[in-house]
Amino acid sequence: MNNILELPLDCLAQILSLTSPRDVLRSSAVSKQLLAMSAFDTVWDKFIPSNCMDFISLHIPPQIVSKKDQFMHLCDFPILFDNSVKSFVLDKSSGKIRCMLGSRALSIEWAVDTPHYWSWEAIPESRFPECAVLNQVSWVNIHGSISTTLLSRGTTYGAYFVFKMDANITGYYKPVLMSVSVISEDGSPIVNYVVETKSVNFRAPGELFIARDDGWMEIEMGRYQVGVNGESVQMVMTVWEHQCEYWKNGLVVDGIEIRPLS
């Protein structure tokens, strides 16, 4: 056999399912056979995460029947869950899970019932109903966590602080520190895990500050590799600045996004 297209259709579909969504879409331009097979349910079923099927099935409209259409829907329309403070979406090129913790899903010191410190506002560019707006605090302390059981196995994830800065932002005379760490599901520390801390100068935005397509800025806080066996730990993201007691303001927090890098 000199041509792969001479293989039986079920064999070709199996081969496509072992690639990636990006590869399947590219291959559909090669021939009519591959174009037809690129829509097979047996291909796209492999790209929908099995560890989230019960959750996903509750959020796909019943009129979307084919697995390819279901996959595309999960890529194009983030699912809001946990009272709309978290979101779930698939990466279109790899099929891997992306999650985001909105600011209401984070632990923000002084942000509960203290509107003179932090207020909550609807921001048109956000996917979430509310964002945290910093009015004035002497120190910043923000924490978020997510179970790795919600993420794709065997995947390195980056955590990104998603925010905006007012033109009149003041008070950041010391670097803001950011880190990503892991703890066990019961909250106990994991032996020999080394936490790396990143120092960010908010007064001099540099290459760490990336403009996003959705109108927000982001900073990579750190990375963590989820094991191939899907271990159950909590990935913990932290933003803090305690050294400078000057009043700080001008920060709008959309949340923390956890997205696949490899």
Answer yes or no: are the C-beta atoms of 230 and 148 closer than 8 Å: yes
Give residue for tokens 């506002």: 121
* Per-residue b or e along 226-248, where b marks 16 or more CB atoms closer than 10 Å to that residue's CB: beeeeeebbbbbbbbbeebeeeb
**Structural domains of the chain ordered from first start:** 6-77 (no CATH), 96-260 (2.60.120.260)
Token pair for residue 89?
A: 């979406």
Q: Which amino acid is at 149?
A: T
What does pTM read for this prediction? 0.91
Residue 198: per-residue pLDDT: 92
Query: What is the C-alpha to C-alpha distance for residues 251 and 248, in angstroms, rounded to an integer?
Result: 8
Q: How many helices (H) and strands (E) does the chain have?
A: 6, 14
Give one word for 74, left, alpha or beta, with left for phi > 0 and alpha for psi -120 to 50: alpha
Give one word for 229, left, alpha or beta, with left for phi > 0 and alpha for psi -120 to 50: alpha
Token pair for residue 63?
A: 């009129």
Residue 5: per-residue pLDDT: 63
Answer yes or no: are the C-beta atoms of 234 and 147 closer than 8 Å: yes
Query: What is the C-alpha to C-alpha distance for residues 219 and 200, in angstroms, rounded to an integer?
Result: 9
Sequential pLDDT tens for the chain (262 residues): 456 666 666 777 778 888 889 988 887 777 777 777 788 888 899 899 988 888 888 899 999 999 999 999 999 999 999 999 999 999 999 999 999 999 999 999 988 888 899 999 999 999 999 999 999 999 999 999 999 999 999 999 999 999 999 888 889 989 999 999 999 988 888 877 778 899 999 888 777 899 999 999 999 999 999 988 877 899 999 999 988 888 999 999 999 999 999 7
Q: How do the residues of the chain divide into helix, strand and coil, expressed in percent and rounded to 5? A: 20, 35, 45
Please name which of 79, 57, 70, 80 lies closest in space to residue 21, comparing C-alpha atoms: 70
Query: What is the C-alpha to C-alpha distance for residues 237 and 223, in angstroms, rounded to an integer?
Result: 10
Query: What is the C-alpha to C-alpha distance for residues 253 and 161, in angstroms, rounded to an integer?
Result: 8
